Structure 1
Amino acid sequence: MNDHWALSNAPWLDSGPTSRVLTLLSGGGEEARVVGGAVRNALLNLPIGDIDIATTALPEEVVRRAKEAGIKSVPTGIEHGTVTLVVEGKPFEVTTLREDTETFGRKAKVSFGRDWVGDAHRRDFTINALSVGADGVVHDYVGGLSDIAARRVRFIGVPKERIEEDFLRILRFFRIHAAFGAGEVDRDGYLACIAARSGLATLSAERVRMEMLKLLVADGAAAACVAMADSGLQQTIVGGVVYTGTLAAMIAAERALDLEPDAMRRLAALAVAVTEDARRIAARLRLSNSEARALDSMGHRWWRLEGMDEARARRRLYRLGEGPYRDRLMLAWARAGTGADAAHWIELARLPQRWTAPKFPLRAADFIARGVAEGPQLGHVLTLAEDAWLAADFPLEPGLLASLADQAVTRLTRDPKP
């Protein structure tokens, strides 16, 4: 099967760096096409990110032509047929058509070929196997065009076989559906993913992390996570209980606040009830240090933010800082349930936009002047004074500050700490 469809209104294809690469690698008996996600997104009228090129030209020929044209080439995966060309500052991953000679997961042995049909059948999903040449004609050998029209994510060929080639395709199935699909997930693919779920244990944490974080920020993340939870896949990934209702509430909260989707917020909503959950997930997914800190912060006594008035919220904002305050508050909001007062939560979440926490005005010198010696006692009295300053709602009047300092020194003498 080779269905054709003309891709119209594609200036990125007709001119500019993409056109230059296609022209460079076509002719002289060779052909080049844009493949994969760029074609899919163009047909769905979605933003186009990276543009990948497939070609019949061997890697050495790609490098030779690039050199003659004065284009930088980087052998990013030349043993697998991939060369990156940099044109006008934009990178293009160019890969020679391939065919598997032996298949065992990501370490499949490949040989270079010239068969566009065979190359399409090597790919994962029908909507990712489309290609388009400089003439705008979309080539479809696997039924991807009809699946694009139906917003259906379907494995190429037998789902079980595609999954066994790389078990990461289980997660990619749900992630691609969340981003580009509509309605229920494809049943044959879904059942194959369930049957093969033990294969997830063979994947590196880094690869799982990458797919999960992409899935969580997709438009259809809530429904995809429900499907994964119903099959037991989600619990396998995070190693504990999942809360799909809280995830849906977090997504609604982000939209109410006009915030961009945030993977850590959504991961916390899905799987973090206490800090122990955050630490387990950080280890299982090999989160970065900043990601792990964000997850841990959200899980730390988020329930104490329920029922806050604005005075208490200001103290929390002062202690946590704007980002952690907002994210922990949003987790508390998402977990508050359907009876939550959305207007009140929104008001608290937008507190940093109308109020900036002042700096604590008392300094070590204020207490040294009152006879407190440098050392641990000085740190303790500063803590006592800061706590009292917060409780008094951030006063800045000199007389009141002096009184707070005196009271802190008095408390220190009553309750000295090393």
Structure 2
Amino acid sequence: MTKLKADWLAWPFLKDIVSALGPENIRFVGGVVRDTLVRRDIKDIDAATRYLPEETKTRLEACGIKVIPTGLEHGTVTAVRDGQTVEITTLRHDVETDGRHAKVAFTDDWLEDAKRRDFTMNALYLAADGTLFDPFGGEAAARAGQVCFIGDAEKRIEEDALRILRFFRFHAHYGKGDLDAEGLRAVTVKVALLEQLSAERVRDEICKILAAPDPMPSLRAMTEVDVWAHTPVVGADLQALEILLAAEEALDFDPDILMRFAAITGTRASSAARVLRMSNRQMKTLKAIRHGFDSVPPVDAKSMRAFLYWYGPEAGQAAVLAHTEAQGEDVLQVLANWEIPELPVRGQDLIILGMKPSPEISQKLRQIEARWVESDFSLSKEVLLAPLKNVS
């Protein structure tokens, strides 16, 4: 068997977990192994064990390791120490699937656990001594950037239709060259199963696809097999997204999921987000982004400061990305570094000067605010209030 060099295997917390459960009873699995193979930064650490969840919990606690029973019914507990977490799940095999959820039973068979996973690159297990358990050729697939279903691709999709979107998502993040032909064929045959999925599950996968450095190959393939028609998104404007991606690269901007979502959904951004059950905060951000896309771009530092004040940083960034040809360095510097100030005048200040509480105060504040913004935020509180003092 292959031996894999992984520095994280020497982390004291992981060594203590292995000692508590015994090296023959635990293997690290999934993303942490895959990302080690392709030399990506390690994020979450997951492990699989032969022990039932209660036994896992008992053995870890006996060694002084805090355990949170995060999902006992699914066989999962989380070991915690000093901000580090490791999810440890009992080996499982599927008993029954309905395209959305699986009924599982616990097992002590590593191969049975591997068979229930989606892609070969995700069915990689690493023992504490660095020995790689690779029952389906996942190492070669990961290194080659090939996202391949385990076994019969159509059956894997029938077990959980979300695997259609995961297929495109993993290619967006790990793929090289063309998508796996057999996987793409199976997705094409089973694409209508996407309609079984909840809006939230679809939303999360689409957002993860959009988070990839270059999601275009996956998104084009999704369009070719008519994925969008079977999701609440309905359609995707890939040309608008290509323009946005080029602007991101030209300006060296980090990927922004909501910015990209607003590009592919166009004027339907708010309605698509609502159907996908995005949060109120995300809806508000999308509205600001769309305003930025559709606005006349700020042409100098002063107009950018005013734009940021009235519409917010998301709208400002969207305006810059939509009109890269119109942006000077002074505008970009304001976008990157300017902190939006607060109006120095409050309603209470007007009351102190003799105005009675009434709608007139709000109207007067708006007038003062407009004057302050027009001054490029230079007028002080005293100057802004001076006309009222003269009147009183």
Q: TM-score range by the shorter chain?
A: 0.7 to 0.9
Q: Work out which of the residue numbers 70, 73, 83 in structure 2 matches 1:79.
A: 73
Q: Work out which of the residue numbers 310, 319, 336 in structure 2 matches 1:329.
A: 319
Q: Work out which of the residue numbers 194, 198, 203 in structure 1 matches 2:197.
A: 203
Q: What's 1:57 paired with?
A: 51
Report how far residue 368 of structure 1 moved. Answer: 6.8
Report how far residue 79 of structure 1 moved. Answer: 2.5
Q: What's 1:35 paired with?
A: 29
Please, which runs of 5 or more residues in structure 2 have no aligned partner?
none
The alignment of Structure 1 onto Structure 2 pairs a total of residues equal to: 391
Q: Deviations over 1:229-267 (max 9, x none)?
A: 232223543534422232233334334444432211121
The CA distance in 2 between the partners of 1:248 and 1:301, in whole Å, is 17
The CA distance in 2 between the partners of 1:142 and 1:77, in whole Å, is 28
Q: Which moved more, 1:193-202 or 1:101-110?
A: 101-110
Task: Give the 3 Å change call, closer, same or farther, for CA 158–345 of structure 1 in structure 2.
Answer: farther
Equivalent residues in 2 for 1:367-386, closer than 5 Å: 373-386=356-369
Asked whether the 8 Å contact 1:167–1:199 carries over to 2, the reply is yes
Asked whether the 8 Å contact 1:395–1:401 carries over to 2, the reply is no
Q: What's 1:313 paired with?
A: 304
The CA distance in 2 between the partners of 1:262 and 1:200, in whole Å, is 25
Q: Deviations over 1:47-81 (max 9, x none)?
A: 11111111122223212312321222233222232
SS of equivalent to 1:114: coil
Q: What's 1:13 paired with?
A: 9
Report how far residue 42 of structure 1 moved. Answer: 0.4
Q: What's 1:26 paired with?
A: 22
Task: Give the 3 Å change call, closer, same or farther, for CA 18–381 of structure 1 in structure 2.
Answer: same
Equivalent residues in 2 for 1:296-307, closer than 5 Å: 296-300=287-291, 302-306=293-297
Task: Give the 3 Å change call, closer, same or farther, for CA 348–124 of structure 1 in structure 2.
Answer: same
* Counterpart AA for 1:5: T
Q: Deviations over 1:59-117 (max 9, x none)?
A: 23212312321222233222232222224442222122222233333543332222222
Q: What's 2:125 paired with?
A: 131
Asked whether the 8 Å contact 2:53–2:72 carries over to 1, the reply is yes
SS of equivalent to 1:196: helix
SS of equivalent to 1:308: coil
Q: Deviations over 1:114-153 (max 9, x none)?
A: 2222221111000000111011011111111211121111
Q: Work out which of the residue numbers 284, 302, 325 in structure 2 matches 1:341.
A: 325
Percent identity, aligned pairs only, is 39
Q: Deviations over 1:175-219 (max 9, x none)?
A: 111111111211221222232222222112222222222221122
Q: What's 1:141 paired with?
A: 135
Q: What's 1:416 paired with?
A: none
SS of equivalent to 1:34: strand
Q: What's 2:286 paired with?
A: 295
SS of equivalent to 1:61: helix
Equivalent residues in 2 for 1:141-220, closer than 5 Å: 141-220=135-214
Q: Which moved more, 1:64-73 or 1:367-376?
A: 367-376
SS of equivalent to 2:295: helix
Q: Deviations over 1:382-401 (max 9, x none)?
A: 32343344345445289985
TM-score, structure 2 length as denominator?
0.88
Asked whether the 8 Å contact 1:170–1:193 carries over to 2, the reply is yes
Asked whether the 8 Å contact 2:299–2:328 carries over to 1, the reply is no
Report how far residue 295 of structure 1 moved. Answer: 0.7
The CA distance in 1 between the partners of 2:346 and 2:50, in whole Å, is 71
Q: What's 1:280 paired with?
A: 271
The CA distance in 2 between the partners of 1:73 and 1:52, in whole Å, is 14
Asked whether the 8 Å contact 2:101–2:160 carries over to 1, the reply is no
TM-score, structure 1 length as denominator?
0.83
